[in-house]
Amino acid sequence: MELISKVKSFGGEQRVYRHASKSTGTDMDFAVFLPREALDGYACSSLIYLSGLTCTWENVMTKGFPQQHAAEHGMIFVAPDTSPRGEAVANDEAYDLGQGAGFYLNATQNPWKSNFQMESYIAEELPELLIDSLPLDEDAIGLTGHSMGGHGALTLAMKNPDLFQSVSAFAPIVNPMDCPWGQKAFKNYLGDDEATYAAYDACALVASEGWEKDILIDQGMADNFLEEQLKPWAFDAACRKAGIDLTLRLQGGYDHSYYFISTFLADHVAWHAARLD
């Protein structure tokens, strides 16, 4: 890993790294907050945060203020990018496809499949890199995310329960097979065989994979994407049917922005810390 920057923050260090990714075939940047305990060499629990459409690692690190909360719990906080990037990487003029919109899946269709392998990157390559390079407890890794990243957190956790020990989400896309964002992404990245879509749909995975622990979701009720794209009630119903312990907190007046995320991020960090201790 190449260290791009580091600054002192809440007794720890806020760092940005770059590395050549085998999964995406590109350089990938990610941010890490290391608490004082990690700098002293102690193995720490960690929380990986997956960002939403159009975002990079920078959004949550500068608008969500995770450093203070992670420092309070002696937790490493990791924020990867949302997709591969670069002039040679396929892209689209729309904000919800291509660079910035990787949907945390492994694309099978041209021109996307050569670089858009974000499932492998998040669930395999990045954790291995973190475990090998940082004082990270490999048995205490949590996963959370916002919107598209909430979709990624839920689906990747259910598919990799031995790797991710806890999962939560902010305003996640829970049923992408039944919303415009997801349908567009799946058709382009995965092709016309709709049978392949279920592997990346949280509602479908609740039935096929399940989850033996609990889940926390916060959803703003003033979110302008609530009715058409997010539909948290579909995930609530799927969890009830599967007997999964879901806490779905509907937050009156909050929208889809980082004002919403920054308000409740402390709760999520503490929630994960309690389960990863």
- φ, ψ of residue 125 to 5 degrees: the values are -65, -50
Across the range 118-125, mean pLDDT stands at: 98
Q: Please list the active-site residues.
A: 147, 223, 256
- Looking at residue 106, what DSSP letter applies? B
Its domain, for residue 193, covers 2-276
> Distance between CA atoms of 186 and 61, rounded to whole angstroms?
29
pLDDT at 64: 96
Let me know: does 235 contact 217? Beta carbons within 8 Å. Answer: yes
CATH number at 40 reads 3.40.50.1820
21: left (phi over 0), alpha (psi -120 to 50) or beta: beta
Give residue for tokens 């949280």: 202
Q: Looking at residues 132-153, what average pLDDT do you find?
A: 97
- Count Cα neighbours of 177 within 13 Å in the Cβ-side half-sphere: 17
The answer to whether 69 touches 265, Cβ cutoff 8 Å, is yes
Predicted pLDDT at 201:
98
Confidence of residue 37 (pLDDT cuts 50, 70, 90): very high
Looking up tokens 């399940």 gives 210
Nearest to 51 by CA among 174, 181, 160, 144: 144
Please state the separation of Cα 75 from the chain's center in Å. 17
What is the per-residue pLDDT for 61?
A: 98
CA atoms within a 13 Å half-sphere pointing along the CA-CB vector of 67: 21
Express as a percent the part of the chain with pLDDT over 70: 100
Q: Tell me what pLDDT residue 212 has.
A: 96
Confidence category of residue 187, pLDDT binned at 50, 70, 90: very high
Cα angle 21, 26, 32 (rounded to 5 degrees) comes to 55
Strands 245-251 and 214-220: parallel
Percent of the chain with pLDDT over 90: 100
Mean pLDDT of 98-106: 98
Beta bridge partners, 9, equal 12
CB 24 within 8 A of CB 47: no
Q: Give the span between the Cα atoms of 230 and 264, in whole angstroms.
A: 18
* Overall domain count for the chain: 1
The pLDDT of residue 30: 98
Residue 220 and residue 262 in contact, taking contact as beta carbons nearer than 8 Å: no
| Local confidence band at 275 (pLDDT 50, 70, 90 cut-offs) | very high
Tell me, what's the pLDDT at 74? 98
pLDDT tens string 221-243: 999 999 999 999 999 999 999 99
**Looking at residues 185-199, what average pLDDT do you find?**
97
- Reported pTM: 0.97
d(CA 200, CA 100): 18
pLDDT at 244: 97
DSSP H helices, the chain, are: 36-39, 57-59, 66-72, 118-120, 126-133, 148-159, 180-190, 202-208, 232-242, 258-276
